[in-house]
Amino acid sequence: MTDLLVRNGRLRVADLDLRCTIGRSGIVAADAKREGDFATPAGRHLLRFAFFRADRVTAASPLPFQAIEPDMWWDDDPASPAYNTLRRSAPAEHPERLWRDDAVYDWIVPLGWNDAPPVAGLGSAIFLHVARPDWTPTAGCVAVAHADWPRLLPHLRPGGGIDIRPG
């Protein structure tokens, strides 16, 4: 199984070498990652499933994709019993709404960080998603240009991973 490799501002897999951006605090050791630190956790993280905005993009990939709906959000509250999981409720302004006006969450792949089981405060909502057009750093995720996603999708496979390494 070929893993994605993130290092030095690049995401590499097979014959692809794509620009990417990470958390504004850089890459930190997995045992140092904390909620709200804006850091991307180092290590190998599993790819299990993903989400996409079916009204905007397609998701032709071996990885199972689910269409995002307006009531979906990711729980990043360490005090919540559903911390670091997908939630559904009446549309409201949640901090991690998956249905966004911009294109940043047109494709989202949760990176299997702190989810087996989640431990409150060790970080949540670490995704592979679409980069902002100005390449602004993320809050801890890995982001790739919108235009690169169609070439990346065939490489996203169940059981595969993303290996995040410091420079």
Model confidence at 92: pLDDT above 80: no
Percent of the chain with pLDDT over 70: 96
* pLDDT (0 to 100) of residue 95: 74
* pLDDT (0 to 100) of residue 62: 94
What is the C-alpha to C-alpha distance for residues 89 and 159, in angstroms, rounded to an integer? 29
Give mean pLDDT, residues 130-154: 97
* pLDDT (0 to 100) of residue 140: 97
Q: For the chain, which residues make up each domain, given as ranges?
A: 4-164
Residue 161, amino acid: G
What is the C-alpha to C-alpha distance for residues 93 and 113, in angstroms, rounded to an integer? 24
CATH 3.40.50 at 4-164, yes or no: no
Does this model's pTM top 0.75? My answer is: yes
Give mean pLDDT, residues 28-47: 97
User: What tokens appear for 129 in the block?
Assistant: 């998603």
* pLDDT (0 to 100) of residue 44: 96
Give mean pLDDT, residues 14-28: 97
Give mean pLDDT, residues 102-130: 96
What is the C-alpha to C-alpha distance for residues 58 and 29, in angstroms, rounded to an integer? 34
